[in-house]
């Protein structure tokens, strides 16, 4: 088969690779129908050392089940399925508590000997607990929106849920990438009436307004903090959904959160140390939460509105490439020429 590998920062190649096979009785092999490039894929694209490559890439996909291990019940050959970016058994104590990313039998695609999804096919561990059958065909116009259930929609929703967003909550979303925009959508779904989107790319923030943002702040740093404070009568917002992962975004989150509020981080942090002391979080009673989204916990809840067209999270995809064009997809997203790149193998 063909698959994408990152050799080092800025160097993504699509090449021949071994076909995935059943390795454990709980595995499935899935033929990829749609995949994509994630904003988090750009972190290694900027920093990966040659000594860490070649690494398989991709963790979001829709596909058709082709093979099943002997212990897999539920999914059937020929089913069109979506898989969350973290596989899990969906039966352990953590999974039952909705924390699939901490499943002791789980893990992540494209690491630990599991192939990436930017490929023609992938082995899915814990297939019974991971794969969710979709009631549409391979030619459905809903595929882009359904693909967001693998990561970015569930991640935006996780940000809002962890921040306890409801109809009484004012919200700031930091970041106008796909996750940030779908955090706006999620906050709106949970009832928020005031949603401030911090982003400076007009095409993206226009989509943010479509999803429910009431205000857009293009300024960054102290200037951006002052603008949000101005919009909120000096108080800041009850919830801040941080969807970037870099220190300046965290610092803005601390700057715009209201006393007693919540900062919910879902941008993969590219730092180890951050202010959490008296003047930043402790004194004003700020809660810090977030983490990798247990997407499997949200798919069943989010799926119906995607199927009936009530929401259109797939609008975050603004460019489609073939598998062989994946390196160009990385370049386009890195240069802000594309918001999120869909891959149709």
Mean pLDDT for 205-227 is 98
CA distances from 268 to 11, 41, 139, 193 (A): 21, 10, 33, 27
The model's confidence at residue 122, banded by pLDDT at 50, 70 and 90, is very high
How do beta strands 107-108 and 86-87 pair?
antiparallel
Residue 289's CB: how many other CB atoms inside 10 A? Answer: 16
pLDDT of residue 9: 97
**224 near 216, Cβ under 8 Å?**
no
DSSP 109-154: TTSTTPPPSSBSEEEETTHHHH-EE-SS-TT-TTHHHHHGGGTHHH
Mean pLDDT for 252-257 is 98
From CA 175, how far away is CA 170, in angstroms rounded? Answer: 17
Residue 94's CB: how many other CB atoms inside 10 A? Answer: 18
Mean pLDDT of the chain: 97
Q: Starting at the edge strand that comes first in sequence, how are the strands of the sheet with 11-16 ordered?
A: 11-16, 2-8, 55-56
Strand partners, 194: 170
Sign of CA dihedral 126, 127, 128, 129: positive
pLDDT tens for each residue of 84-121: 999 999 999 999 999 999 999 999 999 999 999 999 99
DSSP 244-257: S-SHHHHHHHHHHE
**13 near 323, Cβ under 8 Å?**
no
pLDDT of residue 44: 96
pTM of the model: 0.96
pLDDT tens for each residue of 280-334: 999 999 999 999 999 999 999 999 999 999 999 999 999 999 999 999 999 999 9
**150 near 58, Cβ under 8 Å?**
no
pLDDT of residue 104: 98
Rounded to the nearest 5°, which phi and psi values hold at 344? Answer: -115, 95
Cα 62 to chain centroid distance, Å, stands at: 14
> Residue-wise over 290-302: b if at least 16 C-beta within 10 A, else e?
bbbbbbbbbbeeb
From CA 322, how far away is CA 130, in angstroms rounded? Answer: 26
CA distances from 144 to 82, 128, 210 (A): 11, 23, 17
**What is the SS3 assignment for 30?**
strand
pLDDT of residue 108: 97
Burial class (CB in 10 A: 0-12, 13-18, 19+), 274: middle
**336 near 201, Cβ under 8 Å?**
yes
Look at residues 25, 267, 237 and name the one whose alpha carbon lies nearest to residue 123: 25
How big is the chain by its Cα radius of gyration, in Å?
20
């Amino acid at each position: 088969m063909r698959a994408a590998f990152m050799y080092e920062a800025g160097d993504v190649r699509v090449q021949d690779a071994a076909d995935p096979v059943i390795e454990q009785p709980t595995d499935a092999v899935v033929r990829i129908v749609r995949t994509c490039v994630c904003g988090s894929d750009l972190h290694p694209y900027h920093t990966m050392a040659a000594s860490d490559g070649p690494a398989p890439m991709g963790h979001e996909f829709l596909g058709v089940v082709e093979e099943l291990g002997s212990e897999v019940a539920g999914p059937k050959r020929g089913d069109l399925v979506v898989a969350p970016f973290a596989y899990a058994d969906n039966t352990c104590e953590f999974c039952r508590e909705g924390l699939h990313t901490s499943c002791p039998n789980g893990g992540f695609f494209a690491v630990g000997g599991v192939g990436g999804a930017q490929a023609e096919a992938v082995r899915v561990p814990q297939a019974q607990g991971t794969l969710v059958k979709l009631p549409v065909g391979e030619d459905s116009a809903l595929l882009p929106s359904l693909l967001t259930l693998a990561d970015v929609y569930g991640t935006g929703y996780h940000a809002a849920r962890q921040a306890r967003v409801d109809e009484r909550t004012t919200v700031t979303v930091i970041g106008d990438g796909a996750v940030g925009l779908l955090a706006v959508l999620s906050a709106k779904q949970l009832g928020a009436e005031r949603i401030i989107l911090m982003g400076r790319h007009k095409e993206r923030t226009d989509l943010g307004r479509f999803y429910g943002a009431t205000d857009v702040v293009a300024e960054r740093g102290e200037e951006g903090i002052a603008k949000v404070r101005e919009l909120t009568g000096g108080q800041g917002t009850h919830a801040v959904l941080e969807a970037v992962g870099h220190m300046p975004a965290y610092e803005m989150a601390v700057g715009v959160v209201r006393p007693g509020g919540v900062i919910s981080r879902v941008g993969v942090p590219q730092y180890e140390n951050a202010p959490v002391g008296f003047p930043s979080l402790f004194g004003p009673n700020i809660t810090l939460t977030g983490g990798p989204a247990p997407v499997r916990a949200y798919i069943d809840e989010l799926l119906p509105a995607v199927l009936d067209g009530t929401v259109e999270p797939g609008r975050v995809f603004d460019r489609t490439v073939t598998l062989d064009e994946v390196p160009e997809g990385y370049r386009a997203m890195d240069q802000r020429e594309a918001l999120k790149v869909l891959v149709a193998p």
